[in-house]
Chains A and B, each alone.
Chain A
Amino acid sequence: DGGITQSPKYLFRKEGQNVTLSCEQNLNHDAMYWYRQDPGQGLRLIYYSQIVNDFQKGDIAEGYSVSREKKESFPLTVTSAQKNPTAFYLCASSIAAGPNEQFFGPGTRLTVL
């Protein structure tokens, strides 16, 4: 089946540790996105990538890093510099950047202990 997979579904980390969230898509989409969702805050854009080997910061990029070495993969690293990393993280993709439908993965809930 075509779609977006995120792993793991739940993730726990100790304060001060870096952690990488996985996002894979087999839709052959050029664009991929990472959002953070907090209660009552809606979705906020962390990073996005319009094409392989290219990515741009979103509204809340501080404390996060990404890579886009392959078209189908867009991992997000939450670094120890992120002050409040506990949140629900959603990955999405679209056929191209711009006003296109975004397809979302099931999300990863990160909890910092």
Chain B
Amino acid sequence: AQKVTQAQTEISVVEKEDVTLDCVYETRDTTYYLFWYKQPPSGELVFLIRRNSFDEQNEISGRYSWNFQKSTSSFNFTITASQVVDSAVYFCALSEPNSGNTPLVFGKGTRLSVIA
């Protein structure tokens, strides 16, 4: 079973629409960390956010917001008033440090296309 599931393979929206990218994770640990990365067409992944399992407060950064819900094991990412520059592949990732110093486990990514 996948530890990180991003069920949406591709999403297309028109500029200025809001869009939510889903991320569902699976872990038995009580301490874990969740990440979001953006991969623009250039290929290099860009870090967006890290959230630990003890902090369920939602996060807002400009047009970006994240909704962390332990009850549903989800860490969804919303872009408000999307722009063409938001077009990219977005990855959700999980780290379980108490399972050893294992690196991040990535989801398969969601390709977002914002159309002008």
Contacts and interface: CB of A to CB of B under 8 A. Distances in A.
A48 B104 CA distance: 11
A99 B91 CA distance: 16
Nearest to A88: B43
Contact of A42 (B35, B95, B108): B108
Contact of B107 (A42, A50, A98, A104): A42
Q: Which 9 A-B pairs have the closest CB atoms?
A: A99-B95, A99-B33, A42-B108, A97-B101, A104-B45, A107-B43, A43-B106, A106-B44, A42-B106
Interface residues of B, number: 23
Given A98-B97, A99-B95, A104-B45, 4 more contacts: A40-B9, A99-B97, A102-B45, A102-B104
Interface string B51-82: 01000000000000000000000000000000
Interface of B: 9, 32-33, 35, 37, 42-47, 50, 52, 91, 95, 97, 101, 103-104, 106-109
Interface size class of A (residues with CB under 8 A): 20 to 34
Contacts of A64: none
User: What is the predominant secondary structure among interface residues of chain B facing chain A?
Assistant: loop
Contact of B44 (A31, A43, A44, A104): A104
Contacts of B45: 43, 90, 92, 102, 104
Given A40-B9, A105-B44, A58 B103 contact: yes
Contacts of A45: 103
A41 interface: yes
Contacts of B101: 50, 97-98
A33 interface: yes
A109 B41 CA distance: 13
